[in-house]
Amino acid sequence: MRRRQFITLIGGAAALPLAARAQQTVKIPTIGFMSVSTLAAWSHFVAAFEQRLAELNWINGRTVAIEYRWAEGRSERFAEISAEFVRLNVDVILTGGSAVLAAKRATQTIPIVFALANDPLGAGLVASLSRPGGNVTGLSLQGPDIGSKRLGLMREALPGLRRLAIIANPASPQAAAELQEVKAEAAGLGFDPTGLEIRRAEDFAPAIDALKGRADALYACADALVSANAARINALALAARLPTMFYAREYIQSGGLMSYGPNVPDLFRRSADFVDKILRGTKPGDIPVEQPTTLELIINLKTAKTLGLALSPTLLATADEVIE
């Protein structure tokens, strides 16, 4: 290289702004975001999470990198994605539902935040809600007697309800636990509960079609497979003339009848605060698990009319939102 060219190169490097040179050498933290569902189903959850991160000065692509992976309701993908995040050596993993167990099996050192989990204590994700211990913490979907409250709302909406079908993916420990809990609660209320085990997307059509004339309503346990196939479930349930109960408003927007549970986008927004604390040095085991402080009832009046249901004015008045 000629001397003049060498001086020009050195001078050019020296002329770079200090911030630009620092950016070339400083590694920004990485968040591994594992969705149990699809981009379409979780897009507003992602938006809520990134918005709150930005408020905390974590800008995707600038001060933090987010690696998104979509399991699309396939539970076998949870272990694959978790292993990939371990290879990438991400600074924190954010996920929810059954995927949390897979992430915990993959690493005991990388912090894990769950934006939603049915029963984190019962599932063995944490040692206690107040002192999780280990490398896992987050936000629980479980509120006091939430299953019995859903069943009470179903009975209020459907006074003739007797035969209740409960759909759950047995591959999900949390969905399987919810199935048993709801079956026991339903039997205690005088219902005749029937559990339906769904392992693949292809199982929904024959299972729900077989309920025609044999069930009065359908209760769906929270799970990745249910989340990824919400529109299909609702279309099948409407064809079978089955009113439905879900855990979140997202299912009602695609044609379900009722949901009762926490605001899921808000859970993802709040999960950004957990991630912020961890990226700033707090150990996940020292961050208490949060439970829902408010639960919302969403009713799809259009679906009710399609099913020929006349919902009571009292029930509609108690709803946080009525979709017409």
pLDDT for 22-31, tens place per residue? 444 578 999 9
Q: Could you give phi then psi for residue 247, rounded to 5 degrees? A: -95, -10
- Better-scored residue on pLDDT, 172 or 86: 86
Which token pair is 104? 């915990």
Render pLDDT for 52-73 as a digit per residue (tens, 0 to 9).
999 999 999 999 999 999 999 8
Nearest-angstrom CA–CA distance, 226 and 230: 6
Rounded to 5°, the CA angle 108-138-297 comes to 150
What is the model's pTM? 0.83
Dump the DSSP string for 282-308. --GGGSPPB--S--EEEEEHHHHHHTT
**Does the structure show a pLDDT above 50 at 206?**
yes
Predicted confidence at residue 25, as pLDDT, reads 58
Please name the residue that has the structure tokens 């439970």: 291
Beta pairing, strands 92-96 & 217-220: unpaired
Q: Which domains does the chain have, with CATH numbers?
A: 28-141+264-286 (3.40.50.2300), 146-261+296-323 (3.40.50.2300)
Give the HSE-up count for residue 138: Cα atoms under 13 Å, Cβ half-sphere.
Answer: 32
